[in-house]
Homo-oligomer: A and B are copies of this chain.
C-alpha cells in the first residue's frame, strides 16, 4: 500500500504537509491541499491504522461486551450491538466484539493494551461484576443498562420505571382499575437482570399510588398462556394488561386471552411496554412504549466518545424518557364493559 511518504514524494511536498492536508489540523494553501488530495486519491492512499493509532495515541475502537445468557433475547441483543456499531461509525470509531466467556479479561485487555479507547457494556445485571471492574479501571466505560450501584459509572437506558408508570397511567386514565403485568421469565429475574426489576418496581408503585388492583406473572420463554391464566386467577376482573416481555410472549398474549374468552381491546386493554419489537404486524397491533435501541446506543456512544475525546468522565445516569405509540389497543373501561355486557 501507498504510504504518506509516497504521497509526499509524488506530490512534491513534505510528509507533514500530507498529514495536515488530510487531517485539516492546520491551514494549508488550497493549491497544495488539492494537489495532495489528488495524488492521495490517485495512489489510493489510506493511512495505516496501526501507525495512526500509535502516533495519535488513540485506536478509534470501542470494545463491546455483550454477554449471552441462556435466556438472552438475541434479537434485542443483536440490535443493540449493531446500533452501537452504527453510532460508533458516525463518530469515526469501530467496534470490537468481546466474547462473554471472559468479559472481564476482555475488558482488562482492551484497557491495558490500549486496544480500544473505551468500552460499551450491554445487557447489564443489577449486580454486574463488570461495574466494579469499570470503577477500578480509570478508563472510559459506558453502561447501556443500569446496575444496582451506579457509583462512579456512566449509564444510559430507557427509563423503565417511567415507562411502567406511563403504561399504568394510560390504563388507569381509561378507567381500568384492575391491571395485570406479564414480566420476564423467572430465570431472567433470578439472574438479576435489572431492567425487568426496574419496570416491575415502577409498575407496582404507580398502581399503589393510583389505587389500582394489580398482579404480576412471569411467563415461560415463548408462551404467555400460563402467565395469562395466573393473572386471570388473581384478577378475575382484569381489564388492563401490560406486557413487558419479548416479542414471542407478547404475540402470544392476545391468543392466550382469547383462549380464556377475552378479546382485545374490547374486554382487555393491552400495552406492550419496553418493547424492542414492533407490534404493527401482530393480529391485533398493540399500543407500545418502545425500547428504542437506536436512542439508547446513540446516547451511550456520544457519552463514551465525549469521555474519550474530551475527557468528560463525570459519572452520571441518563434515563431516556419513554414515548407512547398508540395503536388503539386501549379502550375506555366503561365502553369495553358495555360492549361485553351487550354481547353477553
Interface residues of A (CB under 8 A from B): 1, 44, 46-54, 59, 61, 64, 68, 74-75, 77-79, 81-82, 85-86, 89, 94-101, 109, 112-115, 222, 248, 251
Contact = CB atoms under 8 A, between A and B. Distances in A.
B85 A78 contact: no
Contact of A59 (B46, B50, B74, B113): B50
Contacts of A89: 99
Contacts of A101: 86
Nearest to A57: B50
28 contacts: A44-B112, A48-B54, A48-B113, A49-B113, A49-B114, A50-B50, A50-B53, A50-B59, A53-B53, A61-B96, A64-B97, A68-B78, A74-B74, A74-B75, A74-B77, A75-B75, A77-B78, A81-B97, A82-B99, A82-B100, A85-B97, A85-B99, A86-B101, A95-B96, A96-B96, A96-B97, A222-B251, A248-B248
B74 A79 contact: yes
A109 B53 contact: no
A90 to B, nearest CB: 10
A86 B99 contact: yes
A192 B253 CA distance: 34
Most buried by B among A50, A77, A78, A109: A50
Shortest beta-carbon contacts, A-B, top 9: A50-B53, A46-B112, A49-B115, A49-B113, A50-B54, A74-B75, A74-B78, A78-B78, A46-B113
Nearest to A72: B78
The quantity of this chain's copies bound in the complex is 2
Nearest to A56: B50
Nearest to A94: B96
A48 B138 CA distance: 17
Contacts of A53: 49-50, 53-54
A171 to B, nearest CB: 28
Contact of A95 (B54, B68, B97): B97
B1 A50 contact: no
A78 B78 CA distance: 6
Nearest to A90: B99
Nearest to A79: B74
A197 to B, nearest CB: 24
A1 B82 CA distance: 31
B112 A1 contact: yes
Contacts of A98: 85
Given A49-B113, A53-B54, A64-B97, 6 more contacts: A48-B54, A49-B53, A52-B113, A68-B82, A74-B77, A85-B97
